[in-house]
Structure 1
Amino acid sequence: MQTLRDRVLEKVHIDTVAAGRVPMLFCEEEFRLVDHLKSVATLGYGYTRQEVVDIASDFAVQLNK
């Protein structure tokens, strides 16, 4: 209900469809990361959530982001 009220009161632009941060990686970069995670998963190695965050962070640094 709050979102509707904000739109009516023009606190939020009517064309805004998402809130929050802008994604760090472009889609193609994210696909590269996902492909890597899938390929190591097929080899029997799985990453924890924290390991995936660390890998994504390292990847972003490597891309100078």
Structure 2
Amino acid sequence: MIRSSLEPVVVGTPRHLQSGDSLAFQARSTHEWSNPVPVDAEVVWAITPPLPRRELFPAWKKRGTAAG
């Protein structure tokens, strides 16, 4: 957390993060978040290693090129 606060819920466990806090979890874990205050939150997200695109966007289909 860079600024303000955030309330993430990871695999059903709620947390409260404030400026200077951090949280690590598996990217495939069910998660959601909300901002409990009327001030914009500033957060740095890092996903490493990156998830394959097909996991992030299940409906995404690789576009091929038409030979013609």
TM-score normalised according to structure 2 size: 0.18
Higher Rg of the two aligned structures: 1
Q: Which has the higher strand share?
A: 2
